[in-house]
Amino acid sequence: MKQYKLIGVDGLPYLSAEPGSLGGYRRGSTRIYGQINCKNALGWIAKGHYVPYRMFFKDAATAIKVGFRACRKCEP
């Protein structure tokens, strides 16, 4: 069975049988979450950025609880 690595409400990664519904980016003090198919994030990924700093969340409440803000492009 495939396992997905998500970030929990404690800010630590855990394995889940279900994929996350939101993607996130954390580098330095920047912490942003948004839709998996966010055009802005996908553009940066296509250029070779974001990937080492990418993470996934079950829901927005979890992302907010660990200090992420919503993407201004896909989660206005």
Domain residue spans in the chain?
4-70
Helix (H, G, I), strand (E, B) or coil at 44: helix
**What phi and psi, each to the nearest 5 degrees, are found at residue 18?**
-110, 140
Q: Of 47, 10, 45, 2, nearest to 57 (Cα)?
A: 10
Q: Which residue has the tokens 């980016």?
A: 25
Say what the pTM is.
0.87
| pLDDT single digits (tens) 16-70 | 999 999 999 999 999 999 999 999 999 999 998 888 899 999 999 999 999 999 9
DSSP E strands, 1-76: 4-7, 13-16, 22-27, 30-35, 54-57, 69-70
Alpha helices in 1-76 (DSSP H): 39-46, 60-65
